[in-house]
Amino acid sequence: MTEPDSSTDTSKGAGNATLVMIKAVHTVAWLSIESCVVYLLYAGLRGRSDRRAAIAGWVVAGETLTFAANGFRCPLTQFAERAGAESGSVTDIYLPRWFAHNLPSLHVPVLITAAALHWRNLRDAPQKSAQHPEVLVRPAVAVLPVLRAVPSVEDREHLT
């Protein structure tokens, strides 16, 4: 029996290309999630617990829940293993090894800090709005003409 010629075996090359693709997807996902974490800290420090912060929070929470539900193992690890990664880990994304390996433990204090900042912002929000009632009045006044222009149920019945 002869062994297959390695020059005609494309499975390793395809595996490498697949592994590079998995790592690239993981890196893009990591950058997106990290930008949400950074925004959460920034917004929390600036006192902005707004819709953008909520969206960033949901992205981070979704990633955290996915990571926890997968046994604190990246869901892409199984794909990396199938593609031929030695350890199966995608934590060796294009980052320093020590940093990538310690990401979960580095994130805990950061996420706790961001959550505490936004909790503080939301807790203090009623006091800030009481000090500046015009902030609440302006949007309501801007919406009133639009609401008046919308016919009521009784008016719509007379129109038909």
CA 38 – CA 53 distance, rounded (Å): 10
* Within-domain flag for 152: no
In a domain, residue 145? The reply is: no
Count of structural domains, the chain: 1
What is the mean predicted confidence (pLDDT) over 42-66? 93
Higher local confidence (pLDDT), 14 or 68: 68
Each residue's pLDDT tens digit, 111-144: 999 999 999 999 887 766 555 544 443 343 444 4
What does the alpha-carbon distance between residue 19 and residue 73 come to, in Å, rounded to a whole number?
17
Amino acid 96: pLDDT: 76
Instruction: Measure the CA–CA gap between 44 and 151, rounded to whole angstroms.
Output: 41
Residue 37 belongs to some domain of the structure: yes
* Residue 158 domain flag: no
Domain of residue 53, residue span: 11-125
Does some domain include residue 130?
no
pLDDT band at 5 (very low <50, low <70, confident <90, very high): very low
Instruction: Tell me how crowded residue 101 is: count the other CB atoms within 10 A of its CB.
Output: 14
Going from the C-alpha of 105 to that of each of 42, 88, 98, 102, 131, the distances in angstroms are: 20, 20, 11, 6, 40
